[in-house]
Amino acid sequence: MSTLELISKKEEKKIKTPVKIAVASGDGIGPEIMKASLRILEKAGAEIEPEFIELGEKAYLSGKTAGIDDDAWDIIKKNKVILKAPITTPQGKGYKSLNVTLRKTLGLFANVRPVEAYSPFIPTHFPNMDVVIIRENEEDLYAGIEHRQTQDVYQCLKLITRPGCERIIRYAFEYAKVYHRRKVTCMVKDNIMKITDGLFHKVFDEIALEYPEIENDVQIIDIGSAKLAAQPEDYDVIVTSNLYGDIISDIAAEIGGSVGMCGSSNIGKEVAMFEAIHGSAPDIAGQNRANPSGLLNAAISMLAHIGQPEIGDKIKNAWLCTIEQGYHTADIYREGVSRKKVGTEEFSNIIISNLGRTPNLLKASHIKSGEDSIQIPDYSRKEQHKELVGVDVFLDWKEDDPNKLGFALSKLNIYQLKLKMITNRGVKVYPEGLSETYCTDHWRCRFVSTNAKINKDEPDYKLIDFEHILALQSILHHMGYDVIKTENLYEFDDVRGFSLGQGE
């Protein structure tokens, strides 16, 4: 290749091709704030090419119960980046949450919500607050596996997985590294949920060791949320599971004084989605009153993600200048603090006129490198020896004397499977329960193998077999008991994989 050809190849590389992004204008105030945000992005020189998709109310009402049509899926799968305005979920039965569908279908495992104070321009009790909440987005109680098991008892399964914990916790530490954060705090409730939340805590401790330059800390979620509400300035990055994260990210946004200003990123291995945290605000739709800041902040994170952090900084700084100058939309306008109440359009025009400026008092934006430099390795499962050691059999039993049930079941001896205890709502009621314990119609009867583990090293060794559990269920059924479910009890590399009953 000649020198000239080489030079022209280099020049070619320098000319950026615009990044195609899927854009959903949403419902209510969605189209207004999307139009304003895209205009600001264009004027700032963002190299993007929006492809518009239909999500939300129209799709729902046209019969798509998930709120999204096939064309939209195709564009999302092709472009892998979505900028999404809020949508309205129509009232009534049969409509699924579009957000949950998008997060789960696209594997958007991390929800990242930065909350910053913009004091004194946006009043808050916590002028130095600057917290990022990183929430696991796919698992936990949000798996949506719920059952009614008896007349009185309803159940929701909390699923926590090792790959899910590893991914989100590593993401939190990588985020802290890329964005020069000092500390990652993990919030769990493992004093109660020792196995599920215990796993989250354990994985956090393991991964924290790989980042010695970043401080780490574990807090119980109840006291952690109370402290977050009272002293948010003590926190930097917080990582937690789905439900806790859902709750504390709203607490953080509220006390930061910036519900209308926060954006959030939903990050997956392949696809990422960026949106404001507020809803479609139908009460002010079409009135030029909406604050586009939440969506604009989400778009700034998107620019970092697609490798255009300097444009993100340019927009963020222009936006910070506008906030500092006191041009505020109605939701953040305060008499004596703000200079002028402006509509969506005027607010965007002032941001555009501020492009190239940096704020005087507020901390200027230095995104520098974005989330695209965060690489999460694939999960690799380590082999473990799994051994069946017993079974919890759940009965729907309408009587109320645990001793009667206990005496009857303790007579059974199926292939050395013997009754160990009975619990009701987790509390041991047999043997030696307390008469004060309230019992409902849902009884967990734990049968464990009484075989000695003496032939362990033999290749076909099995303490008990699944057939034994089936035989036990069959006998219970023929005795007239209503078996509503079973849960096998396993040990993994000789470590118990099930919790003990309270009082066991």
- 199 contacts ligand NAD (rule: CB under 6 A): no
What is the rounded CA–CA span in Å between residue 431 and residue 428?
A: 8
Shortest CA distance to 402 belongs to which of 365, 354, 440, 376?
Answer: 440
Q: Exactly one of 79, 124, 258, 280 binds ligand NAD (CB under 6 A); which one?
A: 280
Question: How far apart are CB 146 and ligand NAD at their closest, in Å?
Answer: 21
Contacts of 426 (CB under 8 A, 6+ apart): 444, 501, 502
Nearest to ligand NAD of 169, 284 (CB atom)? 284
Local structure of 223: helix, strand or coil:
helix
Question: How far apart are CB 502 and ligand NAD at their closest, in Å?
Answer: 38
- 322 contacts ligand NAD (rule: CB under 6 A): no
Distinct helix (H) and strand (E) counts, the chain: 14, 20
Nearest to ligand NAD of 150, 266 (CB atom)? 266
Residue linked to tokens 């993401």: 171
Nearest to ligand NAD of 18, 286 (CB atom)? 286
Question: How far apart are CB 503 and ligand NAD at their closest, in Å?
Answer: 43
Nearest to ligand NAD of 138, 197 (CB atom)? 138
Contacts of 56 (CB under 8 A, 6+ apart): 24, 26, 27, 30, 67, 87, 88, 89, 98, 280
Q: Exactly one of 240, 249, 265, 291 binds ligand NAD (CB under 6 A); which one?
A: 291
Nearest to ligand NAD of 102, 188 (CB atom)? 102
CB 186 within 8 A of CB 204: yes
- 88 contacts ligand NAD (rule: CB under 6 A): yes
Residue nearest ligand NAD (C-beta atom): 279
What is the rounded CA–CA span in Å between residue 176 and residue 54?
A: 35
159 CB neighbour count, 10 Å cutoff? 15
Q: Exactly one of 331, 346, 372, 482 binds ligand NAD (CB under 6 A); which one?
A: 331
Shortest CA distance to 170 belongs to which of 374, 446, 311, 414?
Answer: 374
Give me the long-range contacts of 450-455 (CB less than 8 A, separation at least 24). 450/416, 450/417, 450/418, 451/416
Q: 490 pairs with which residues across the strands? A: 388
- 93 contacts ligand NAD (rule: CB under 6 A): no
Q: Select the span of 140-148, 241-249, 287-295, 334-342 touching ligand NAD (CB under 6 A).
A: 287-295
Q: Exactly one of 25, 37, 79, 89 binds ligand NAD (CB under 6 A); which one?
A: 89
- 113 contacts ligand NAD (rule: CB under 6 A): no
Q: Select the span of 4-12, 81-89, 411-419, 455-463 touching ligand NAD (CB under 6 A).
A: 81-89
Number of residues lying near ligand NAD (CB under 6 A): 19
Q: Exactly one of 245, 260, 268, 501 binds ligand NAD (CB under 6 A); which one?
A: 260
Q: Exactly one of 256, 294, 312, 402 binds ligand NAD (CB under 6 A); which one?
A: 294
Contacts of 70 (CB under 8 A, 6+ apart): none
* Strand ranges, E, within 150-271: 154-156, 183-188, 215-220, 237-240, 263-267
Q: Exactly one of 279, 326, 431, 497 binds ligand NAD (CB under 6 A); which one?
A: 279
- 32 contacts ligand NAD (rule: CB under 6 A): no
Question: How far apart are CB 59 and ligand NAD at their closest, in Å?
Answer: 13
Question: How far apart are CB 94 and ligand NAD at their closest, in Å?
Answer: 15
Q: What is the dihedral of CA 328, 307, 363, 84, to 10 degrees?
A: 30
What is the rounded CA–CA span in Å between residue 38 and residue 22?
A: 12
Question: How far apart are CB 126 and ligand NAD at their closest, in Å?
Answer: 21
- 59 contacts ligand NAD (rule: CB under 6 A): no
What is the rounded CA–CA span in Å between residue 353 and residue 128?
A: 28
Question: How far apart are CB 316 and ligand NAD at their closest, in Å?
Answer: 17
CB 449 within 8 A of CB 463: yes
Question: How far apart are CB 137 and ligand NAD at their closest, in Å?
Answer: 13
For 207, phi and psi rounded to 5 degrees?
-75, -35
- 275 contacts ligand NAD (rule: CB under 6 A): yes
- 290 contacts ligand NAD (rule: CB under 6 A): yes
* Strand ranges, E, within 189-344: 215-220, 237-240, 263-267, 272-276, 327-328, 340-341
- 283 contacts ligand NAD (rule: CB under 6 A): yes
Residues 365-384 that bind ligand NAD (CB under 6 A): none
Nearest to ligand NAD of 256, 260 (CB atom)? 260
DSSP, res 350: H
Q: Exactly one of 21, 76, 87, 188 binds ligand NAD (CB under 6 A); which one?
A: 87
Question: How far apart are CB 97 and ligand NAD at their closest, in Å?
Answer: 8
Nearest to ligand NAD of 92, 336 (CB atom)? 92
Whole-angstrom CA distances from 402 to 409, 439, 449, 484, 486 are 11, 8, 22, 18, 19
Binding site for ligand NAD (CB under 6 A): 29, 86-89, 99, 260, 275, 278-284, 290-291, 294, 331
